[in-house]
Chain A
Amino acid sequence: MSEPVTELGGKVVEGWVTVRDAGLCGMITLRGDLESKAVKDICKKVTGVAFPKPLSAGADGRSGLCWMSPDEMLVMVPYADVQMALSDIHSALQGTHYAAENVSDARSVMFLEGAGAREVVAKLAPVDLHPDHFKVGDFRRSRLGQVAAAFWMRDEETFEIVCFRSVGDYCFSLLSASAEAGPVSVF
């Protein structure tokens, strides 16, 4: 069988803020009634993470849940566990109105690490990233430069960014350029 690789091939650009390919991530797009107990329960079961409030995300290592829209959840699990998680979801939600699909190889994931990570993103997205407004655990789908991307703060100095695989390289270069340009000291 062919060996799975990320679009970014493990690239890292170190500097004031480090941009890092997150490596292979298992991702499942789950659409359905996010208010239903069955959906909440299976999300918690496959990730071990508490069900997030709207516009937020939570993670434990490589497992996590990201609130994408009022009817969509991004379920993150270790890459090797995707098929197992997907079949767990199918058996738990069988007969209800839902859709779940493995999108692991359709997305790119990267990390931004450093005290200035907030500024690096703020320069690229039309989002209020002031510390009083955008906090650890907050999740936002928006755009970075010219492409759609989602990002959230894992902790005070780490952003996790998810974008389509086809624009992964653009996104990575954009973040690296923003990091290289240095701080703007607005926060």
Chain B
Amino acid sequence: MLTLQCPYCGVDADETELSPGGEAHLKRFGPGSTDEEFEDYLFARQNPKGVHFERWRHAYGCGKWFLAARCTMTLEVFGTYSAQTTEPPQTIKDAITAKRPGWTWGTLS
């Protein structure tokens, strides 16, 4: 079972209280972008074995969207953080590096 701490209300929320929102840190390509960029934005997703960043919504609780860093292989949660950011905070990156030295994810590492 997955338990994520909501960074807005501080509740340790059970998976059944949450709604998954797919991959985090997507950059939108809309009007004016090339077809390849638009296709990537719509369809191309990472499918890592290991470190992953996701969006979750505390749907049955405070209703806020937040971001989570976790491992898809062990289900270990490295941390959750505010959705009002374009990149994971350094504390989250450090927590991942401590457990998974040399990790990469997209352009992040």
Contacts and interface: CB of A to CB of B under 8 A. Distances in A.
Contact of B60 (A54, A55, A128, A141): A141
A69 interface: yes
A126 B62 contact: no
B14 A126 contact: yes
Given A69-B64, A143-B60, A55 B10 contact: yes
A72 B16 CA distance: 22
B60 A70 contact: no
Given A54-B10, A126-B14, A69 B60 contact: no
Interface string A69-88: 11010000000000000000
Nearest to B12: A128
A141 B14 contact: no
A161 to B, nearest CB: 14
A143 B64 CA distance: 16
B10 A69 contact: no
A126 B16 contact: yes
Interface in A60-116: 68-70, 72
B61 interface: yes
B40 interface: no
A178 B16 CA distance: 20
Interface in B1-36: 8-12, 14, 16-17
Contact of A69 (B12, B16, B62): B62
B62 A141 contact: yes
Contacts of B89: none
Nearest to B8: A70
Q: 5 smallest A-B Cβ distances: which pairs?
A: A69-B62, A126-B14, A143-B60, A141-B61, A148-B60
Interface of B: 8-12, 14, 16-17, 60-64
16 contacts: A55-B10, A55-B11, A69-B8, A69-B9, A70-B8, A70-B9, A70-B64, A126-B16, A127-B14, A140-B11, A141-B61, A141-B62, A142-B60, A142-B61, A143-B16, A143-B60
Given A54-B9, A140-B61, A143-B17, 16 more contacts: A55-B11, A68-B62, A69-B62, A69-B63, A69-B64, A70-B9, A70-B62, A126-B16, A126-B17, A127-B14, A140-B11, A141-B61, A141-B62, A142-B17, A142-B60, A143-B16
